[in-house]
């Protein structure tokens, strides 16, 4: 990481007008002096049915923001734009992989959502019920989310790449009553039958009463007439349903994310604080303009899709572009052709995608007119300075600022990022914490330091309110000495810019997908021939990190290419294809401390060719020789 400090800073005129800069410094200062007042002012930007009585009540680690305020998230994304010029503006512009197009104005989206809300009510969904959403990137995914919160239900969106088993686990943990899915989707020209996976997922679950199926691909699907209902059939009879009055602290959604144990955490977000934070940060970070066509490439199955495809942009009345398919279908210029065609002004994507585009070469983006672009965003993992510069030069023509945004599923909204008037950017740094955000680096002793653990030291409106059904894990995982521990390591330079180095716990980031090493290890150990497994993330030039698994087998088994293949398939079945190890190495024993803890750090050192750190606690030093030997053979 120290190299990145040597890079020159980049001054982008659109981020650097003097008048903006004075204004922004005043905003930072004001927010710093009175954080609560800053957030109270931001809260005025959304619509409340009943105003809040108290900005924050804080009983570490339990926050209540905008206490007793009443609002509805769907109302804020839709109804409040009706009767304004935004009603006729495009809310969603969609393109499918095969080139199909659909558009919905705010008025049309409002009507669709109101009617689907009525459908859900008629299916017996009540305030507080959970709805599972397993859909591709189609407008109905947005409709499903907004309809759920419109009637006070809590959605849990599960990324379409998760396997049946992963879907089942999430449905069960959430106790979801309704599952919303589609017949299928297209990816790289191939039909993927989501309905089949959904069917497998609910085979052995009791909570799902009805499955609403959207006809997307028109491919035939297996039909269970006691549970399955077509979306378009249900919508025929639907009336308009109004938005329920929700308390600021009523749950809005649960989103499962990986942690340091084998079991994913159901991160809970509530209505008021979340809506205030996502509305504010979308406006500040993307410096939104009336005629923006905004494209965040994240899937709605992840937090970026929740906050910056759906709630943040729609609450601000933006035109949101959605794309369903792959970046290289039919050719490697698909993104650039769509930017040209729809005149996209803001592009928000992940470093892994940028590095892939770099590998494909400049010719692809240079073949399209990208002059509509105004701002380029990055999210999900540290962006290396080379990728930052490539993005800046080749996609933004040295004109568009690259806003590197650091945040997490748990934070709900962007925490560290540059905003208009911010001043010079430094490739590889997410710059400063946003106004109202108290990001602090601390050392092992919990003292402020310039390098160490990234923490958030004061509550913020969109902070997670807990882990679903697991208050103890919430307290233990995140909170120490009144600070929220992010799990990331960071450094702060002399200008107060943050440089995030990545996870310091057993969470890895593969192509922007967050995975727990323990989650993958449990999947491997579950295979009948496996005795033990240790999973690490190793540097990968495109994916950021790739998964390497070290596996010891039961006595009767021997390692082989076939077994490696079977194990990879097994992980795909347990979690999803995106969690498959890139490499599996069979070893006699895992390196462990004398107390039996697997030494992943040592495995990482060997895998990345570093000098091996402290080995004094290692129980059996011969294990290291064995693993080193495997790498030499490789």
Binding positions for ligand WTA, rule: CB under 6 A? 257, 302-304, 379-382, 404-409, 430, 486-488, 500, 502-503, 509, 514
What is the closest distance, in whole angstroms, from the C-beta atom of residue 82 to ligand WTA in the complex? Answer: 31
147 vs 429, which CB is nearer to ligand WTA? Answer: 429
- Tokens read off for 93: 């512009």
273 vs 412, which CB is nearer to ligand WTA? Answer: 412
257 vs 548, which CB is nearer to ligand WTA? Answer: 257
Phi and psi torsions of 114, nearest 5°: -60, -40
Are the C-beta atoms of residues 474 and 61 closer than 8 Å to each other? yes
What is the rounded distance in angstroms from the CA atom of residue 548 to the CA atom of residue 506? 13
Gyration radius (Cα) of the chain, Å: 24
What is the closest distance, in whole angstroms, from the C-beta atom of residue 458 to ligand WTA in the complex? Answer: 19
Residue 190 Ramachandran class (φ > 0 left, ψ -120 to 50 alpha, else beta): beta
What is the closest distance, in whole angstroms, from the C-beta atom of residue 564 to ligand WTA in the complex? Answer: 28
Give 529-550 as a DSSP string: TEEEEEEEEEEETTTEEEEEEE
What is the rounded distance in angstroms from the CA atom of residue 462 to the CA atom of residue 271? 9
211 vs 285, which CB is nearer to ligand WTA? Answer: 285
What is the closest distance, in whole angstroms, from the C-beta atom of residue 479 to ligand WTA in the complex? Answer: 16
What is the closest distance, in whole angstroms, from the C-beta atom of residue 117 to ligand WTA in the complex? Answer: 28
182 vs 417, which CB is nearer to ligand WTA? Answer: 417
Point out the residue whose Cβ comes nearest to ligand WTA.
409
Nearest to 459 by CA among 410, 394, 508: 410
What is the closest distance, in whole angstroms, from the C-beta atom of residue 303 to ligand WTA in the complex? Answer: 5
3-state secondary structure 446-466: CCECCEEEEEECCCCCCCCCE
The three-state secondary structure class of 54 is strand
DSSP 81: G
What is the closest distance, in whole angstroms, from the C-beta atom of residue 62 to ligand WTA in the complex? Answer: 21
- Any idea what the Cα angle at residue 438 is, between residues 435 and 443, rounded to 5°? 145
Look-up of token digits 């008021």: 272
What is the closest distance, in whole angstroms, from the C-beta atom of residue 413 to ligand WTA in the complex? Answer: 9
What is the closest distance, in whole angstroms, from the C-beta atom of residue 410 to ligand WTA in the complex? Answer: 7
96 vs 160, which CB is nearer to ligand WTA? Answer: 160
43 vs 402, which CB is nearer to ligand WTA? Answer: 402
285 vs 599, which CB is nearer to ligand WTA? Answer: 285
250 vs 488, which CB is nearer to ligand WTA? Answer: 488
What is the closest distance, in whole angstroms, from the C-beta atom of residue 10 to ligand WTA in the complex? Answer: 16
Give 503-527 as a DSSP string: E-SSEEEETTEEEEHHHHHHHHHTS
What is the rounded distance in angstroms from the CA atom of residue 295 to the CA atom of residue 314? 12
Helices (H), ranges, 17-163: 18-33, 35-43, 73-77, 106-122, 139-150
**Packing angle between helix 164-174 and helix 561-574, nearest 10 degrees?**
30
364 vs 499, which CB is nearer to ligand WTA? Answer: 499
What is the rounded distance in angstroms from the CA atom of residue 272 to the CA atom of residue 249? 6
């Amino acid at each position: 990481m120290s190299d990145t400090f040597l890079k020159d800073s980049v001054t982008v005129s659109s981020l650097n007008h003097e008048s903006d800069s004075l204004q922004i410094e005043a905003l930072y200062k004001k927010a710093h002096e009175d954080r609560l007042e800053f957030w109270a002012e931001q809260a005025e930007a959304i619509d409340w049915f009943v105003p809040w009585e108290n900005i924050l009540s804080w009983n570490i680690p339990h926050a209540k923001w905008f206490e007793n305020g009443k609002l509805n998230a769907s109302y804020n994304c839709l109804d409040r734009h009706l009767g304004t010029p935004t009603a006729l503006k495009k809310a969603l512009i969609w393109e499918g992989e095969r080139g199909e197009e659909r558009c919905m104005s705010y008025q049309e989206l409002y009507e669709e959502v109101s009617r689907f809300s009525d459908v859900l009510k008629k299916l017996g969904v009540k305030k507080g019920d959970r709805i599972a959403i397993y859909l591709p990137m189609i407008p109905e995914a947005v409709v499903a989310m907004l309809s759920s919160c419109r009637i006070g239900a809590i959605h849990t969106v599960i990324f379409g790449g998760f396997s049946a088993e992963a879907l089942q686990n999430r449905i069960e943990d959430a106790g979801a009553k309704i599952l919303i899915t589609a017949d299928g989707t297209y990816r790289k020209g191939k039909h993927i039958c989501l309905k089949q996976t959904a069917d497998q997922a609910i085979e052995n679950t009791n909570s799902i009463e009805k499955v609403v199926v959207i006809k997307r691909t028109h491919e035939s699907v297996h039909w269970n007439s006691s549970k399955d209902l077509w979306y378009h059939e249900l919508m025929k009879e639907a009336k308009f349903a109004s938005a329920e009055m929700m308390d600021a602290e009523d749950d809005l959604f649960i989103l499962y994310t990986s942690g340091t144990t084998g079991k994913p955490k159901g991160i809970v977000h509530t209505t008021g604080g979340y809506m205030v934070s996502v509305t504010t940060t979308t406006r500040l970070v993307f410096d939104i303009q009336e005629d923006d066509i905004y494209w965040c490439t994240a899937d709605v199955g992840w937090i970026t899709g929740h906050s910056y495809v759906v709630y943040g942009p729609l609450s601000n009345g933006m035109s949101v572009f959605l794309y369903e398919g792959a970046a290289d279908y039919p050719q490697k210029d698909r993104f650039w052709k769509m930017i040209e065609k729809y005149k996209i002004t803001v592009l928000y994507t992940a470093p892994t995608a940028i590095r892939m585009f770099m590998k494909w070469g400049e010719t692809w983006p240079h073949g399209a007119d990208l002059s509509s672009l105004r701002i380029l965003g990055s999210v999900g993992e540290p962006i290396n300075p080379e990728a930052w510069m490539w993005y800046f030069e080749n996609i933004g023509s040295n004109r568009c600022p690259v806003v590197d945004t650091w945040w997490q599923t748990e934070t709900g909204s962007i925490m560290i990022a540059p905003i208009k008037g911010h001043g010079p950017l430094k490739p590889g740094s997410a710059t400063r914490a946003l106004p109202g955000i108290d990001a602090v680096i601390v050392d092992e002793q919990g003292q402020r330091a310039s390098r160490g653990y990234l923490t958030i030291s004061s509550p913020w409106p969109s902070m997670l309110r807990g882990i679903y059904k697991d208050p103890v894990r919430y307290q233990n995982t995140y909170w120490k000495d009144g600070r929220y521990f992010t799990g990331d390591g960071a450094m702060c330079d002399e200008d107060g810019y943050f440089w995030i180095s990545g996870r310091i716990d057993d969470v890895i980031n593969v192509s922007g997908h967050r995975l727990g090493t323990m989650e993958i290890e449990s999947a491997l150990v579950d295979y009948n021939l496996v005795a033990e497994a240790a999973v690490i993330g190793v540097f990968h030039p495109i994916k950021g990190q790739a998964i390497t698994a070290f596996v010891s087998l039961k006595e009767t088994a021997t390692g082989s290419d076939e077994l490696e293949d079977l194990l990879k398939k097994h992980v795909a079945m347990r979690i999803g294809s995106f969690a498959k190890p890139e490499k599996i190495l069979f070893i006699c024993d895992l390196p462990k401390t004398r107390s039996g803890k697997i030494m992943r750090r040592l495995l990482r050192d060997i895998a990345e060719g570093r000098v091996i750190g402290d080995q004094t606690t290692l129980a059996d030093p011969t294990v290291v020789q064995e693993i080193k030997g495997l790498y030499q053979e490789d």
